[in-house]
Chain A
Amino acid sequence: DSGVTQTPKHLITATGQRVTLRCSPRSGDLSVYWYQQSLDQGLQFLIQYYNGEERAKGNILERFSAQQFPDLHSELNLSSLELGDSALYFCASSVNPGPSSGNTIYFGEGSWLTVV
């Protein structure tokens, strides 16, 4: 158990819909990362937040957005869903925003999204 909690574990929704994935980081971790893993793309970095502020952006679609709240939990919002958005979405957390001193990132177990 990494200490990173993600909900829901599984989600099935229709095309065009909007969903919200939630992540609670490890106790004491201020930085949250979101990754997407689909069968043909591998693990792709989407976005990172540190203490409520966006720190880095990866291959995140405009239909997707995220935020980190004052209690440090984060939500990833996916809208106008397409079949191709079906994937595993992972949240990860670390103490610091950057990799100094070998700051380690720990992953949650993911949220399975199926768009039908």
Chain B
Amino acid sequence: DAKTTQPTSMDCAEGRAANLPCNHSTISGNEYVYWYRQIHSQGPQYIIHGLKNNETNEMASLIITEDRKSSTLILPHATLRDTAVYYCIVRLSGGSNYKLTFGKGTLLTVNP
């Protein structure tokens, strides 16, 4: 799987949009971008994933650049409950490498 680079930590004010960047410059054409988050010591929670196009669901939006070398996860109106470690993961769409490989992620702290 392609390696990802994320900032170690970020702060966001409650009610504002949180924009979490991820660099995956070595991504290949058949690799998806996944985002998970982990609220302290809870199980990782799936947020969203995409291949080429931007994606949106009830939790977040995922913006993938045209060259697919980076992406941004957007939480449109961050709340205190969004404080968590956010993981950007690039994962093959085929072959035998099925697992998710977690890096260190970004600790997002939402402040009142």
Contacts and interface: CB of A to CB of B under 8 A. Distances in A.
Interface of A: 2, 4, 31, 33, 42-43, 45, 48, 55-56, 58, 88, 90, 92, 97-102, 104-110
B21 interface: no
A112 B26 CA distance: 35
Nearest to B31: A99
Interface of B: 32, 34, 38, 41-46, 49-51, 91-104
Contact of B93 (A42, A56, A101, A105): A101
Given A100-B94, A102-B51, A45 B99 contact: yes
Given A99-B91, A104-B46, A110 B41 contact: yes
Nearest to B32: A102
Given A48-B99, A56-B96, A100-B93, A110 B49 contact: no
Contacts of A110: 41-43
A95 B90 CA distance: 19
A106 B46 contact: yes
Contacts of B98: 31, 48, 55-56, 97-99
A83 B42 CA distance: 22
A100 B103 CA distance: 22
A107 B43 contact: yes
A2 B45 contact: yes
B104 to A, nearest CB: 6
Nearest to A103: B98
A43 B38 CA distance: 11
B45 A107 contact: yes
Given A55-B98, A56-B97, A102 B49 contact: yes
A102 B64 CA distance: 15
Given A42-B104, A99-B32, A56 B41 contact: no
